[in-house]
Each structure stands twice: as structure tokens, then as C-alpha cells.
Amino acid sequence: MTDFYTENGIVYCAALSGAPSLIHGFSTRLGGVSELPHTKSLNLGYNRGDPDEVVDENFRIFKEKLGITGAVLVSAHQAHTKKVVYADGSSVHFENVDGFVTNKPGVALLVKTADCQPILLYDEKARVIGACHAGWRGTVAGIAAETVAAMTKLGADPKNILAACGPCIDKCCFEVGDDFVDTVAYFSDEFLQFVSKENGKYHADIKAMNRHILMCSGVPEENIRVSEECTCCDPGKFFSHRYSKGLRGTMASVIMMK
Ligand SMILES: [Zn+2]
């Protein structure tokens, strides 16, 4: 049994879908109008080679499929930081931010990825949501923990938070170098348990790292769902920075309270 399912080119987490007042989803590369080989077809990133009108149309399609056409969509220029902001909808764009939290219905939090892990968080009791972009730098810096902490400030209780960790590069494809291992160890030796060595090459398990960080933040293990899909193993379904050597479109993940 899998906790994630795909509908109309959007990946949902079943654990979050049980909440009637919540909308969430992770885009794939399916269902859009981009025609370039590397952006085909639902590219949700500007400056990836598509004319802006094409990306606008992809956003329109994605929002319509999700049912958030009237939402205030909040996003950021992401920079692999651990910076989280409170989004009340008065600003729709932030610079050098990688996580958002809100308690405002109608404010949709959006993170963009193409191998990094998108993490969507929800405390139904407190009516607080969070979203973050966790590449390996943001992961080891603690972006997931910072997002949980920011939700807690808004009244959320970590033990009530449900976490949906979306499709990202898995350890099968995430070969890393000595610099990665050194950096990870600098943040915490604990992370080294998620780096394995196969045939002389290091492989990192970013999914396990973020699960560990969420659990250390007080989110119960049974509340954490992690997509088993690997973006790099399935370039027909996902945009993958590593698979495409950087020439790729961008996917988006969204969470919003109705
Ligand atoms: Zn893989």
C-alpha cells in the first residue's frame, strides 16, 4: 500500500487528503503546455526556457486542477537556507526564503523543486500549515525543524502535525562527494548514518534525513509520510536536476487551508 497517489498529473498524500478543509498536492511534469524537450510539459518555473505566457498557462492549469484558482499564492526565490517566514497573504513573493507557515485560509504556500524534497505540514487542530524546500543544504541546516518551530509559534503542536514529504531524489541516484560528507558532519555526526558507501561512492538519503529531523522536532513517526518515488529514476514523470544535468523544468508543491 502506498500513501501517495497520482490524479490528473498531481501527486497527493493520502494522509493529508483525509482532511476535508485542506488542499495540497505535488505537481509532476505531466499535464501542461510547455513544448521544449526539457520543460515538457508542466513546467512551473520561470526562466527555464519557456516564454512567461506558457508558464502562466501551466500555473493556471495547475491551480485549476488543485482547486485553488482564487487563492493567494505565496512563493519565494529559494536559496537553500533555513529561513522560514510567516505568510499572511499581504506579500506573495519573498527573497532567499525556503519555508513558509500560515494560519490564514486561502493563502496557498508554494515551494519549487526538481530533486530537492518538498515538505508539506498540517496541524488540523490548530489550523496551521507549513511548507518547505529541502535540498541537502537546507536539510542539514534544519529547514524542516525551523518550519515546525514556526508552526509551533502559531499554536501548532508537533505531535499533531501531519507531514507529507514529496517526490525527490532518492539515495539510489543521490551520489555525493567528500565535500557533502564533510559538510553534513559539520552540522551533526548524526547525519552520517544516512550516508552509505557503495562501490567506493557515497550515497545520501535525504528522505531519511528529513524524516529524522521531523521526528527530532516532535512529529510522531506515524504522522510522517514519505513518497517512495525518485525524481531522478523517473524523468518521464518528474523534472530532475541531476538526471538532466540542470537543463530542466520546475515542479511545484502547494498546501492551503480552505
Ligand atoms: Zn533514483
Distance 244 CA to ligand 1 centre (A): 13
Distance 204 CA to ligand 1 centre (A): 11
CB 45 within 8 A of CB 78: no
Tens of pLDDT, residues 133-182: 999 999 999 999 999 999 999 999 999 999 999 999 999 999 999 989 99
Distance 121 CA to ligand 1 centre (A): 24
Distance 107 CA to ligand 1 centre (A): 33
Would the pLDDT of 188 be above 90? no
Q: DSSP letter string over 142-170?
A: THHHHHHHHHHHTT--GGGEEEEE--B--
Distance 203 CA to ligand 1 centre (A): 11
Would the pLDDT of 20 be above 90? no
- Residue 37's Cβ-count burial label (10 Å; 0-12, 13-18, 19+) is exposed
Q: Which of 255, 228, 234 is nearest to 5 (CA)?
A: 228
Distance 28 CA to ligand 1 centre (A): 16
Residue 19 banded pLDDT, cuts 50, 70, 90: confident
Residue 2 banded pLDDT, cuts 50, 70, 90: low
Tens of pLDDT, residues 192-249: 999 999 889 999 999 999 999 999 999 999 999 999 999 999 999 999 999 999 999 9
Distance 36 CA to ligand 1 centre (A): 24
User: What pLDDT does residue 1 have?
Assistant: 45
Beta strands 161-165 and 224-226 are parallel
| Share of residues in the chain with pLDDT > 70 (%) | 99
Would the pLDDT of 18 be above 90? no
User: What pLDDT does residue 229 have?
Assistant: 97
Would the pLDDT of 95 be above 50? yes
Give me the residues near ligand 1 (ion), CB cutoff below 5 Å. Answer: 170, 172-173, 230, 232-233
In this structure, the chain runs to a length of: 258
Distance 258 CA to ligand 1 centre (A): 35
> What domains can you pick out in the chain, each with its CATH number?
4-172+206-257 (3.60.140.10)
- Rounded to two decimals, what is the model's pTM? 0.98
